[in-house]
Amino acid sequence: MTKKIVIGIILVFNIIYFSSNLYAIYQGDYLLKYNDLASITGSFSVTIAIFLFFKDFINSDSILNFKKSLSFWITVGLLIYYLGTIPITTLMNSMQSITKSEVHLLFNVQYILVTIMYCIFIFGALWSQKKE
């Protein structure tokens, strides 16, 4: 069931991505305007796939030893990153109308999210290493 949902998500994302790019080409602003629809759809697709992974992970025996699972830590990092960047991505095309201090704040938030994500990746890689 989860595999069919993921395939459906990939199909919907690809349809939205290609149709939004074709529309941008038709409008003549393909390289002039950020394609936020495709980015937001991709972020939501990844977030849904992560929640499906968590659902399967909780229903499996792996939950008993989740601290040693690298895939758990990677999905936690990705979930924090993508949920945090969706609001920033929605503002990308309107950044001309906001002040430089607000743009600086958004980029700092992005930097903090990336740092947290990679720290979780590193923590998970170190925590899940096999001890001999």
State the pLDDT confidence band at 118, using cuts at 50, 70 and 90. Answer: very high
Residue in the structure block whose two tokens are 């990308």: 92
Question: Distance between CA 22 and CA 18 in Å, rounded?
Answer: 6
Q: Which of 83, 80, 84, 88 is nearest to 36 (CA)?
A: 88
Q: How far apart are CA 5 and CA 48, in angstroms?
A: 9
User: Tokens representing 90?
Assistant: 């929605």
End-to-end Cα distance, the chain: 38
Q: How confident is the model at residue 132 (pLDDT cuts 50, 70, 90)?
A: low
Name the residue type at position 55.
K
d(Cα 117, Cα 67) in Å, to the nearest integer? 16
Amino acid identity for residue 74 in this structure:
I
Dist CA 86 CA 40 (whole Å): 6
Tokens 């950044």, residue located = 95
Q: pLDDT tens digits for 41-82?
A: 888 888 888 888 888 888 888 777 787 888 899 999 999 998
| Contact by Cβ (8 Å): 57, 63 | yes
